[in-house]
Structure 1
């Protein structure tokens, strides 16, 4: 795995650190965020998406990141696309 650090929440303190990386070997974003509260997780699990089963598979997770990290996510998306084109 080839992880490339893209950015961290600019308001990071000592105990919180939402972070974004790109796995260049797979052209995937890797995101560290806050765990959702049970209400949000239940709402996500109940959301119906056409063509998909309701629920969150055991191998997947819901995470929260602040909107102030949108520029970092854009940078990560661009980096993942570039890696895919190599």
Structure 2
């Protein structure tokens, strides 16, 4: 998978590293973030959206990304759109 590194949380320490990449081949955003506490995960799992099953499927995850990373996420969105335009 050809990942394009976009950025890492500027406040990262040795033990934390929320990160943003773009999978250029699949044209997807890839995030590494903090695992939520059980309360947030339960709240997300209980959220009802029409036409969507309640819960978080086993093959998916809820993650937290700090708001200070919004510029990196925007850059990743632009990169994935550029990759889509090329193909």
TM-score past 0.5 threshold:
yes
Correspondences of 1:4-19 after superposition (within 5 Å): 4-19=4-19
Q: CA deviation at 1:29?
A: 0.3
Cα distance in 2 between the residues matched to 1:13 and 1:56: 29
Structure 2 alignment gaps of length 5 or more: none
TM-score relative to the length of structure 1: 0.98
SS in 1 for 2:17: coil
How many residues get paired?
Answer: 86
Kindly report the root-mean-square deviation, in angstroms, between the aligned alpha carbons of the 2 structures: 0.5
TM-score relative to the length of structure 2: 0.97
In structure 2, the residue matched to 1:35 is 35
Structure 1 alignment gaps of length 5 or more: none
Q: Stretches of 4+ moved more than 4 A in 1?
A: none
